[in-house]
Amino acid sequence: MICFSTGQAAKKLGLTVRTLRSYDQIGLLLPSSKAEKGKRSYSETDLITLEKITLLKNLAVPLKDIKLILHQVSIDELLAIHQNKLQQKALEIQQTLEHTHTLRNSIKIEGELNWEQLLPLVHNQPNTQSS
């Protein structure tokens, strides 16, 4: 069985060592083995579980809920949920782009726009930052 140290596992998945230690402390992901002095070792199966956790976190699922559903959801189901969320964001971005295009055309036709015409653009701005 191939095992990874905490640092190796963290680097492989783009996580911090602190995150992995935190997951161990809260019981979200226990390493496959832990030496007496606290050195953790993660198996390939553990890394797959970490990928699931990362996907669920990207879907804004709280850690306490991830702990409950982690082993009840397949990777394909997670990817389908993630894909739907990305499609939703893409639609929001497309709508904002269309609104911006309309406003720019209005400026070309009518000249200066007032702030009331710009406020809907600001208020409907999609959240494009990762969770």
Q: Which residue has the higher pLDDT, 110 or 127?
A: 110
> How many helices, marked H, and strands, marked E, lie in the chain?
6, 3
Q: How confident is the model at residue 11 (pLDDT cuts 50, 70, 90)?
A: very high
Task: Report pLDDT for 21.
Answer: 92
Q: Which whole number is the average pLDDT over 59-72?
A: 85
Sequence ranges of the domains in the chain:
3-72, 75-123
Q: Is 29 helix (H, G, I), strand (E, B) or coil?
A: coil
Please, what is the average pLDDT of the chain? 84
- Domain 3-72 architecture: Orthogonal Bundle (1.10)
Q: Which whole number is the average pLDDT over 99-112?
A: 82
Place of tokens 């497309």: 94
Q: How confident is the model at residue 56 (pLDDT cuts 50, 70, 90)?
A: confident
What is the DSSP code string of 72-97? Answer: GS-HHHHHHHHHHHHHHHHHHHHHHH
Is residue 71 scored above 80 in pLDDT?
no
Is residue 24 scored above 50 in pLDDT?
yes
Is residue 131 scored above 70 in pLDDT?
no
Task: Report pLDDT for 126.
Answer: 53
Q: Which whole number is the average pLDDT over 10-32?
A: 93
